[in-house]
Amino acid sequence: MASVTITDASGRTLTGQTLEAFLYISFTFPLFSVGLNCALGAEQLRPFVEELSAKSAFYVSAHPNAGLPNQFGNMTRLQNSWPL
C-alpha cells in the first residue's frame, strides 16, 4: 500500500505532486492499494478519492482527518459522520 496526503483544494501532495503524478510513480511498484490520508476531512477528500479510483488499477483506500481533538481529548468528527 502507498498512501499520500493531499494538503489542500489544489489537489497537490505534501511534496507538490499532482495526484496523477503520484499514480504514475505508483504503477512502477507491485502494490496492493493506493490511498489518500488525513490532511483533509471527508467532504474535501471525496473528489480526490473519486479521481484516484477512476484512474487507478489498484484498490483505493481513504483515511480522512477525524478533526482536531477537543478539550476532552475526543476528535471533533465522529467516524460514523464521514460521507465516504
pLDDT digits (tens, 9 = 90+) for 48-82: 999 999 999 899 999 877 666 667 777 666 555 55
Per-residue model confidence (pLDDT) at position 82: 52
pLDDT digits (tens, 9 = 90+) for 10-47: 889 888 999 999 999 988 899 999 999 877 778 888 89
Cα dist from 11 to 17, 32, 41, 46, 74, whole Å: 8, 23, 13, 11, 28
- Please tell me what DSSP assigns to residue 44: H
SS3 at position 31: coil
pLDDT digits (tens, 9 = 90+) for 68-77: 666 777 766 6
**pTM as predicted:** 0.74
Q: Which of 36, 38, 35 is nearest to 67 (CA)?
A: 38
